[in-house]
Amino acid sequence: MFYKSDVIRQKMNEAGQAGRPFLFGVTFEGEEGFFLPHPLMQDEVLFDIGGKGNAPNPPVRTPSLLFEAVPEPFDIYRSRFEAVMEGLQRGNSYLTNLTIRTPLRTSLTLSEVFLHSEARYRLLIPGVMVCFSPECFVTMHNQRIATFPMKGTIDASLPGAREIILSDPKERAEHNTIVDLLRNDLSYVATDVNVKRFRYLETVRTSKGEILQVSSEIEGTLPDHYREQLGSLLFKLLPAGSVSGAPKEATLRLIRAAESKSRGYYCGVAGYYDGESLDTFVMIRFIEQRGEQFFFRSGGGITAGSDCRREYDEAIQKVYLPFQSS
């Protein structure tokens, strides 16, 4: 199940050429991951990807639950934020995704979180992680590739929330940067790349209420016989621009220096190929398990115009469950 990335790439190519279904995932660092052939025939790793998967029906009632975040002190976050800002001011990056790891006190197991979550993309590796992501990475179908970057989040209950998030200069600049980056990324593997929809709003339900997420849609045309290259094409796009930054290589060095620890599967990419279509997602909205301890991973994009306290608060706001208890 677990392999080095070059093995996963080859297995994806072979399965794509043969039209064999598979489930895969790759870490943010792109060094390793997992590959499951015919994943519907097993029930250890559970998944629901765009309505396709082996997830059992959710229970009728959600449980009463304990779910408390223990955020890192603001001063610790600020030290990493300042390291990123120094890199931005030197011109090494003009958008950097900075993430945190928040310890949780919860009565839920990873399996319970998976079963009750409402999200377009759900994935459970028992004893390792659960992900309930709203963010598509890329889809490949009928020689068409599309990506849907998400940048910009706001509490939907705030008066004028839609107008606030769409008119905010910092949020606009951040979203524009990601759209430009991913449009450029797609050009490595596709032709006729264009922005089909720009800065539209989606509503996401959380245990803290609804939030608004700003997204765009970018598409292009894949080469003939692209299914024989599924792994090779996808790996050219990694890591996902929305959770790294721009320019990629320099920004990745800045992330490693500021965060000091690897992200692992958090912010990596996973997906399901059903024999015809590939649907992949960014592994955000993510809880990892280490022994008996649980951690929620979250973050956000930092630009030269970012405010440290605001970015810290946004990262904490993203610590949620995509359901409410009964």
Does any domain span residue 201? no
Does any domain span residue 7? yes
Domain count, the chain: 1
Does any domain span residue 199? no
| 142: containing domain | 2-146+227-235+252-317
Does any domain span residue 157? no
Q: What is the CATH number of the domain that holds 49?
A: 3.60.120.10
Would you write out the chain's pLDDT as a tens digit for each of its 326 residues? 999 999 999 999 999 999 999 999 999 999 999 999 999 999 999 999 999 999 998 777 766 778 899 999 999 999 999 999 999 999 999 899 999 999 999 888 999 999 988 889 999 999 999 999 988 999 999 999 999 887 777 778 888 887 888 888 877 877 888 888 899 999 999 999 999 888 888 777 766 677 787 888 999 999 999 999 999 999 999 999 889 988 999 999 999 999 988 999 999 999 999 999 999 999 999 999 998 899 999 999 898 889 999 999 989 988 988 776 65
Does any domain span residue 324? no
Phi, psi dihedrals of residue 67, rounded to the nearest 5°: -150, 100
Structure-token pair, residue 237: 């796009």
Cα 263 to chain centroid, rounded: 12
Does any domain span residue 207? no
| CA distance to 93, 177, 240, per residue, from 85 (Å) | 9, 17, 21
Q: Name residue 281's beta-bridge partners.
A: 136, 270
- Look at residues 233, 297, 296 and name the one whose alpha carbon lies nearest to residue 97: 297
Does any domain span residue 179? no
Ramachandran quadrant class, 231 (left: phi over 0; alpha: psi -120 to 50; beta: rest)? alpha
Position 12 scores a pLDDT of 98
